[in-house]
C-alpha cells in the first residue's frame, strides 16, 4: 500500500488548507483550557506549536496532545459547519472511496472478524460507532452474517446508511440509553475516531455504561509513538489540529482503559505506510539515520523495516481490543 492510493497528495493538501482557514473561523474566540495528560493525568511538557495550537507531551507515558484545548462548543460548530469537514465528507471521501474500500475496509473487516472469533466468538451483533458512510459494515456483512447497527449522528451520513438498507441509530453516543440497544452479546467498533475526541475519557465512560459485561470494544486510532510522527513531529500531516487532538500510544491507551474499568485484551499496530510517509516527506526529516535509510535502502529493505515497525508496536496506526468485565 502507498499513501498516495488512500490519501492523494493534492486532495490531502487541499483538506489541510481548508482546515487552516477554518481554525481562524471557528476557534479564534474559543475559551482555551490547560489540560493534563488525557491518559495518566500528569503535567505535560510543551513540545511544539502548529497552526495556532500547542502540543504537550506527557513525561510519564509519552502521550502527545493539544493543550490548552478549545471549548467543546467550538468543536461541535467546527464539525457541523466547517468547509474542511464538508470537503472530507464529500469530495475527499468520494474520490478515494474505491481505493479505501479495497485497501482499508476490506482488510479491516477481515481483521475485526478475526478479533471477534478470537476474543468473543459468541458475539451476536456488531455496533459501529461513528459509522459514517457504512462502508465497514457493508464489507463486514460480505464475510459474516452477524446482526449490525450503525451509530451515526450526522443526518447526512445516517441517511446514506439507511439508503444502503443498513440499520442506523442517528444519535450521538452520549445520547443513547442502554434500553435502545439490543439485549444480546455485542462487539462495539470505532475507527479513526479517538484522535478527534474532545474528552477521550468521557467517551469511554459513556460507552462503558451502555455496554454489558463481557461485551468487547475494538477501535483504531493514531499512535504518537508511530515512527512517522516521531520523526516528522510538527511536520507530520497526521498532526493536524483541530482534527487530531490526541495521540495515545500502546502503553498510554492501556492506562486510560484501566482507569475507566476496561480490561485490555490486545494492542497492535498493523500499519502499512509509515515508511512510505517518511519517503514522501523526506525534506522534513532531520534525523540522519532515517534520512539516510530512506535514501539508501531498496524496496525490499523498506518493506522489511515496515514489517519490523508494525510487529514492534511502532506504527502510527494502532488497533485496540478491550472488554467490559
Look up residue 290 and give its three cell numbers.
Answer: 532515517
Instruction: Point out the residues of the chain with pLDDT beneath 50.
Output: none
Residue-level pLDDT at 128: 98
State how far the Cα of 289 lies from the Cα of 292, in Å rounded to an integer: 5
Residue-level pLDDT at 103: 94
Q: How many residues does the chain have?
A: 325
Q: What is the pTM of this model?
A: 0.95
Please enumerate in sequence order all residues whose Cβ is within 8 A of that of 236, keeping only pairs 6 or more positions apart, or say none: 228, 229, 277, 281
**Please, are residues 23 and 74 in contact by the beta-carbon 8 Å criterion?**
no
State how far the Cα of 231 lies from the Cα of 278, in Å rounded to an integer: 8
Q: Is 7 exposed, middle or buried (0-12, 13-18, 19+ CB in 10 A)?
A: buried
Residue-level pLDDT at 69: 97
Residue-level pLDDT at 324: 98
Give residue-wise pLDDT tens across range 93-150.
889 999 999 999 999 999 999 999 999 999 999 999 999 999 999 999 999 999 999 9
Which domains are delineated in the chain?
93-324 (3.40.50.150)
Residue-level pLDDT at 201: 97
Amino acid at each position: 500500500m502507498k499513501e498516495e492510493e488512500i490519501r492523494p497528495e493534492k486532495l490531502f493538501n487541499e483538506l489541510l488548507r481548508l482546515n487552516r482557514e477554518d481554525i481562524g473561523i471557528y476557534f479564534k474566540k474559543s475559551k482555551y483550557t490547560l489540560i493534563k495528560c488525557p491518559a495518566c493525568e500528569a503535567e505535560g511538557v510543551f513540545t511544539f506549536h502548529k497552526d495556532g495550537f500547542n502540543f504537550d507531551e506527557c513525561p510519564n507515558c509519552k502521550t502527545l496532545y493539544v493543550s490548552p484545548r478549545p471549548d467543546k462548543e467550538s468543536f461541535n460548530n467546527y464539525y457541523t459547519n466547517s468547509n474542511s469537514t464538508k470537503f472530507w465528507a464529500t469530495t475527499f471521501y468520494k474520490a478515494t472511496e474505491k481505493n479505501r474500500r479495497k485497501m482499508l475496509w476490506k482488510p479491516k473487516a477481515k481483521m475485526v472478524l478475526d478479533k471477534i472469533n478470537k476474543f468473543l466468538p459468541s458475539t451476536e451483533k456488531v455496533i459501529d460507532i461513528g459509522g459514517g458512510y457504512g462502508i465497514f459494515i457493508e464489507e463486514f456483512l460480505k464475510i459474516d452474517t452477524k446482526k449490525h447497527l450503525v451509530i451515526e449522528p450526522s443526518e447526512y451520513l445516517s441517511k446514506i446508511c439507511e439508503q444502503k438498507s443498513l440499520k442506523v441509530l442517528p444519535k450521538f453516543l452520549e445520547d443513547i440509553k442502554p434500553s435502545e440497544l439490543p439485549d444480546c452479546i455485542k462487539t462495539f467498533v470505532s475507527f479513526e475516531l479517538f484522535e478527534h475526541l474532545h474528552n477521550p475519557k468521557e467517551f469511554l465512560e459513556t460507552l462503558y455504561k451502555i455496554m454489558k459485561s463481557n461485551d468487547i470494544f475494538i477501535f483504531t486510532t493514531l499512535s504518537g509513538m508511530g515512527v512517522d510522527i516521531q520523526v516528522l513531529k510538527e511536520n507530520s500531516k497526521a498532526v493536524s489540529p483541530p482534527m487530531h487532538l490526541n495521540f495515545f500510544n500502546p502503553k498510554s491507551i492501556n492506562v486510560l482503559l484501566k482507569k475507566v474499568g476496561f480490561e485490555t485484551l490486545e494492542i497492535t499496530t498493523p500499519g502499512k505506510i509509515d515508511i512510505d510517509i517518511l519517503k514522501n516527506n523526506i525534506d522534513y526529516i532531520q534525523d540522519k539515520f532515517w534520512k539516510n535509510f530512506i535514501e539508501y535502502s531498496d524496496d525490499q529493505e523498506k518493506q522489511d523495516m515496515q514489517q519490523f515497525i508494525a510487529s514492534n508496536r511502532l506504527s502510527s496506526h494502532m488497533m485496540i481490543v478491550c472488554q467490559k468485565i
